[in-house]
Amino acid sequence: MANTIRRWARLAVVALTGLMVTTLAACGGGGEPGPNPAPAPVPGAAGGKLTIGIPFDEPGIGLKDGTSYRGFDVQTATYVAKALGVPEANITWKEAVGSERERMLANGEVDLVFSTFSITDARKEVIDFAGPYFTAHQDLLVRRNEEEITSPETLNGRDLCAVTGTTSAANVLARYQGRIQLKEFPRWSDCVQALADSQVDAVTTDDLILAGYAAEPQYRGVLKVVGKGFSDEHYGVGVRKGNTALLNQVNAALRQYIADGSWRRALNISVAPSGYSIPEPPNPGGA
């Protein structure tokens, strides 16, 4: 009986000692709080790095200038990456345009896409979207001296340019097929240059993109935005299908981006100088 009591006593001492060690470790010793636990790793951001798709030729939105990148989508992506624990130096930028955006996400070539990426049901079959983080309106860019083109309805028989695989091209084909001659190019810069060279009569895409081009020195006083938006385009952040953890983290970062004023500051820097009126922000991840 005595041996049994002594054995239980030894077990109790061991258990109590273990509990004390655990408690002291949790407190950091001496009653001081211990260091914060390491943040959870970002899904898709192996080693604290992210590969992000952006446009390379959209002034005010995403523009590659030598070895640097600037524009609203670039600033938004940089902010979100930092909120996920990834500094700007650890971002690899890749050009993502048109229908290439879905493919790049699906095959893992990029982790995220910030590229004036309109949220649509068809695209949601292939990828997921965080956001929206901006709502634009499809509009028209024309030459400064153009008097006859005031809306899509006045484009009968005229040549209109859009980028292949974009919602802009799809909207025109659905609404005005047979009345408008649609020319599709790989990049918006191709369309805008064709307009300046009188090869097409108008370019259609989101007003935010068009305002960026109209503000560029080589097009200032040469091109103008009509200002008659005819669709709503809700920009989302493209995420690989099924990566719910990353999706939720990006939505949380976007809400913070808007709440702390960084969203409006980014727009004031990137597109407001063109005269573009900054709208109210959306509710990322909201109903």
CA distance 195 to 174: 22
Which residue, among 239, 266, 262, 229, has the nearest Cα to 119 in the 3D structure? 239
Tokens (6 digits) for 177: 């097929």
What pLDDT score does 157 carry? 87
Give the contacts of 287 (CB within 8 A, at least 6 positions apart): none
Backbone angles phi, psi at 242, to 5 degrees: 90, -5
pLDDT (tens digit per residue) in 12-46: 443 434 433 333 333 333 333 333 333 444 554 55
What pLDDT score does 31 carry? 33
Tokens (6 digits) for 87: 């500094």
- Per the domain annotation, does 257 fall within a domain? yes
pLDDT (tens digit per residue) in 106-155: 999 999 999 999 999 999 999 999 999 999 999 999 999 999 999 888 88
| Residues spanned by the domain of 55 | 46-136+234-274
Q: How confident is the model at residue 275 (pLDDT cuts 50, 70, 90)?
A: confident
Q: What is the mean pLDDT of residues 2-9?
A: 43
- Per the domain annotation, does 12 fall within a domain? no
Which residue, among 77, 65, 114, 99, has the nearest Cα to 167 in the 3D structure? 99
Q: What is the mean pLDDT of residues 215-219?
A: 85
Same domain, 130 and 260: yes
Same domain, 98 and 210: no
pLDDT (tens digit per residue) in 162-208: 988 888 878 877 887 778 888 999 889 999 999 999 999 999 999 99
The DSSP call for residue 171 is: H
pLDDT (tens digit per residue) in 225-252: 998 888 889 999 999 999 999 999 999 9
Same domain, 213 and 194: yes
Query: Model's pTM, two decimal places?
Result: 0.76
- Is residue 206 a contact partner of residue 116, using CB atoms and an 8 Å limit? yes
- What 3-state class would DSSP assign to 94? strand
- Per the domain annotation, does 169 fall within a domain? yes
- Per the domain annotation, does 176 fall within a domain? yes
The CATH number for 70's domain is 3.40.190.10
